[in-house]
Structure 1
Amino acid sequence: MDSTRKEDDPASLPSDSVRGSNQSGVRAHNERLVLSLVRQFGPLPKAEIARLTGLSAQTVSVIMRALEKEGLLQKGEPVRGKVGQPSVPMSLAREGAFFLGLKVGRRSLDLLLTDFHGHVEGRVHLPHRYPTPDGAVTFANGAIAQLLGQLSPEHRDRVAGLGISIPFRLWDWAKPLGLPTTEMEAWRDRKIADELAENWAFPVYLRNDGSAACGAELVFGDQSKPRDFLYFFVGFFVGGGLVIDNTVFTGHSGNAAAVASIPIGIKGTKVSQLVDVASIYTLERLVTDAGGDSGMIWDNPTQWDLPDGVLDAWMSRAADGLAYAILSASCLIDFQSVVIDGWLPDPVRAALVARTARRLNEIKVPGIEVPDLRQGSIGRDARALGAASLPLSDKFLVDRNAFLKG
């Protein structure tokens, strides 16, 4: 069996009642359904799970005993004070499963090890001038061995897979990296997921970095978001993802919501795109032109010390571009919400969201409803965590095609 998967359809987390089946032939679905509900809503007693799913109390008891025996669920403290027996909430066992997430970025490589809750248990970071296939594979193999070496033998057996978050068509983006086109051509014919899968016993998954970051927001982020939202991640290049009915939509090529390419201005045959104004590489250039050190942007994503006026100038253009892109996208899909996250210090992200919201309120476009705008809840780790969410979703959560109507 091929252990490499190009992941196009991640888990969907139900935000309201979903229906299970009491037929014995769909136990795997029902177990995933229970795990998905507990992940979204937190610890739940058996009676509440039965109510949400429509499964019989007996079926739920059997499922939850099995999941507890496998080490995927654990009992909480009994809740007393009501008529009858006290209810016992069940929650995800932190050490029930572990996941690896590799981010291949334009300025760095990151590998994370997460537990079943999505908490980062280990991290390996390597900055670089630009990514190469050989460099990414060598880094990943070494970092995986390092992080697995920190686990006990029992926990190593619970590593469910490796997800890879990577910009698609890297060879198209040599110029913004300041490189000759030939320097990135090696990416055209290399399949690093296949190469890594040859070295490890667990499955390997691959997703566009923008969609992966969006998946992290969906799986690990604030669960109060609407079922449909557009997502932006401001990294070296701005990227994004699209969530429809609680599912990341990636399209037939896996590159849906390629927000970096959205035209925000056309003059003759010259097209300005969102990537030209809302990407950190444009901030790099402004910092360098002002005599500053652009390297500190990547060295410390929690706090930036930039030359006077540079950040404000960049943020003003970025907010304009984001507002234009949001309004354009809203003409096609009636989003309830837009989420903006990125490799940004928290105050910078908050300021960028606020400026974008002001621009959306200032610009009048008849015929559309301006969506709610909010900050992302993951931050700089969104792409790597999104990669780690791929094996989690594939092995333990339900997706929209697995829902059974009762």
Structure 2
Amino acid sequence: MNGVLAESAIGRQVNCQAVMERIVRQGPISRAQVAKLTGLSKQTVSELVSMLEESGWVREVGSVQGKLGRTAITYELNPKAGYVAVCDLGGTHLKLGIADVSGHLIEETRSPLKDGGAQVEAQLLQGITGLLDKHAIDRSKLLQVVVGVPGVVDRKTRRVHHSPNLPALPGVDLEAALCSVLGAPVLLENEVNLAAVGELWRGRGQASESFIFVAMGTGIGMGVILDGKLWRGARGGAGEIGYMPVLNEDIDLEVKRHGPLETVSSGQAILRFYREFSGNPVDELPEIFDRAAAGDEVALLVIDKVARGCAKAIGATATVLDPQLCLLGGSVGGRPEMLERVRYWLADMMDDPLPVEACALGKKAGLIGALAIALQEVNGRHFSPQLPNNMQDNELYLSRATIP
């Protein structure tokens, strides 16, 4: 199946891409309907559909009544043609999923990281192989793995750096390690970038060509979508707002490692501020939000302070990028109390405040984004003759037309 198009000329690849797109987007569909929609000859379409069927990418699914009482066979994408594994690696937990090439997420799991992430490679391999075995999926059918990581991914070295919330990660060549064992291409991507892509594909970002996604959880990060593309920046660090300078904060070694903004606007900041202001050694974030709901003045003050820091970062980014929308997510950012205070402070800071909305996909945004990228990688490798002319190393072009 991997060599379906290996010997094909570029024109044939273009035609195959057009045929496959129609089957994916509009199947079940007959060969005649594909020919009409693509403008290709019936003979060309018939040859390409036969090739795709023989190699397992499409399958017969029924028939339709044609002219003069004739019936025509209809085709659709074969979901069992291949599978992708998607991973969302956070600072404390690991989310995994297995999906077929139709975009159906067959199963997803969530588990705590062991030993502070020191066993991340083994845990990922165990989780992925466990899902493959559970659903009786042959390893040869695994076509792509996409892993979201809490750090900056250098596209040249394909390694992770600047990962303060999972310090074991930069010491592991995760991409090479997974690829060698699983035998499938592996792509690493920043976890917040994945969430932004997820919202662009199936969430609240679908109606916006340019938006920012701010995730506030253990730390804080941003995914940037500009003109329908994920923007990574020159070194993969676009959206790392945790390192945005906060002028009224002292920069010591710890602040420099995690980032000035992250030290005052994140889940860890909420815990630290509450302990400092109240003298109460609270260890769990939900407890602070529960106290705020009960009228605890210190808890309310802390949430407001952290929301103000987040609003400053959003406002600063908005003045530079001019996005249409900001989506707020993450275990902390996704809480309605945080959304309300961020909106309040943005309105206080800006004459024309950027609209801020809660993300639609919640905790699944990262996995959905990983799935979108995985399907795009499979499509590009097996059917697309070339990448778009405007695609650069620091961009990720998301073609909605060829993703189920």
| TM-score computed with the length of structure 1 as normaliser | 0.69
Q: Which of structures 1 and 2 has the bigger CA Rg? A: 2
In structure 2, the partner of 1:266 is 247
Give 1:7-406 correspondences, 5 Å limit: 25-29=10-14, 31-32=16-17, 55-56=39-40, 58=42, 72=57, 94-116=79-101, 117-128=103-114, 130-132=116-118, 135-153=119-137, 156-168=139-151, 174=164, 184=167, 187-222=169-204, 224-263=206-245, 265-267=246-248, 270=251, 273-285=260-272, 290-294=280-284, 308=294, 309=296, 312-343=300-331, 348=335, 350-365=336-351, 370-396=353-379, 400-401=388-389
Using CA pairs below 8 Å that are at least 6 residues apart, which structure has the higher relative contact order?
1
Share of identical aligned residues, percent? 19
Instruction: Go from structure 1 to structure 2 and tell me whether the alpha carbon gap of 1:126 and 1:72 turns closer, same or farther (over 3 Å shift).
Output: farther
Instruction: Go from structure 1 to structure 2 and tell me whether the alpha carbon gap of 1:223 and 1:327 turns closer, same or farther (over 3 Å shift).
Output: closer
What secondary structure, in the 3-state scheme, does the structure 1 residue paired with 2:195 have? helix
Instruction: Go from structure 1 to structure 2 and tell me whether the alpha carbon gap of 1:211 and 1:50 turns closer, same or farther (over 3 Å shift).
Output: farther
Query: Which letter maps to 1:225?
Result: A
Alpha-carbon shift at residue 160 of structure 1 (Å): 1.4
Query: Which letter maps to 1:281?
Result: Q
What secondary structure, in the 3-state scheme, does the structure 2 residue paired with 1:343 have? helix
In structure 2, the partner of 1:10 is none
- Cα-to-partner distance string for 1:347-386 (whole Å, 9 max, x where unaligned): x2x4433432333333234xxx544332222222333443
Alpha-carbon shift at residue 149 of structure 1 (Å): 0.4
Q: Aligned partners of 2:364 and 2:308: how far apart in 1?
A: 25
Instruction: Go from structure 1 to structure 2 and tell me whether the alpha carbon gap of 1:152 and 1:233 turns closer, same or farther (over 3 Å shift).
Output: same
- Cα-to-partner distance string for 1:301-330 (whole Å, 9 max, x where unaligned): xxx856744764444234322322222112
Alpha-carbon shift at residue 74 of structure 1 (Å): 6.6
Instruction: Go from structure 1 to structure 2 and tell me whether the alpha carbon gap of 1:396 and 1:330 turns closer, same or farther (over 3 Å shift).
Output: same
Long gaps (5+) in structure 1: 1-22, 178-182, 298-303
Alpha-carbon shift at residue 34 of structure 1 (Å): 6.4
Alpha-carbon shift at residue 388 of structure 1 (Å): 4.0
Q: Aligned partners of 2:229 and 2:143: how far apart in 1?
A: 21
| TM-score computed with the length of structure 2 as normaliser | 0.70
Alpha-carbon shift at residue 269 of structure 1 (Å): 6.1
Whether the 8 Å CA contact 2:113–2:120 is kept in 1: the answer is no
Q: Aligned partners of 1:216 and 1:337: how far apart in 2?
A: 15
Q: Aligned partners of 2:188 and 2:311: how far apart in 1?
A: 30
Instruction: Go from structure 1 to structure 2 and tell me whether the alpha carbon gap of 1:92 and 1:322 turns closer, same or farther (over 3 Å shift).
Output: farther
Instruction: Go from structure 1 to structure 2 and tell me whether the alpha carbon gap of 1:35 and 1:386 turns closer, same or farther (over 3 Å shift).
Output: farther
Alpha-carbon shift at residue 209 of structure 1 (Å): 2.0
Query: Which letter maps to 1:137?
Result: E
Instruction: Go from structure 1 to structure 2 and tell me whether the alpha carbon gap of 1:121 and 1:33 turns closer, same or farther (over 3 Å shift).
Output: farther
Instruction: Go from structure 1 to structure 2 and tell me whether the alpha carbon gap of 1:95 and 1:333 turns closer, same or farther (over 3 Å shift).
Output: same
In structure 1, the partner of 2:3 is none
Moved more, 241-250 or 280-289: 280-289
Coordinate RMSD, CA, aligned:
4.3
Query: Which letter maps to 1:260?
Result: G
Whether the 8 Å CA contact 1:213–1:240 is kept in 2: the answer is no
Long gaps (5+) in structure 2: 1-7, 153-159, 392-396, 400-404
Alpha-carbon shift at residue 199 of structure 1 (Å): 1.0
In structure 1, the partner of 2:155 is none
What secondary structure, in the 3-state scheme, does the structure 1 residue paired with 2:188 have? strand
Q: Aligned partners of 1:223 and 1:34: how far apart in 2?
A: 28
Q: How many residues align?
A: 357
Whether the 8 Å CA contact 2:343–2:356 is kept in 1: the answer is yes
Q: Aligned partners of 1:26 and 1:34: how far apart in 2?
A: 12
Moved more, 274-283 or 85-94: 85-94
What secondary structure, in the 3-state scheme, does the structure 1 residue paired with 2:212 have? strand
Whether the 8 Å CA contact 1:104–1:131 is kept in 2: the answer is no
What secondary structure, in the 3-state scheme, does the structure 1 residue paired with 2:320 have? coil
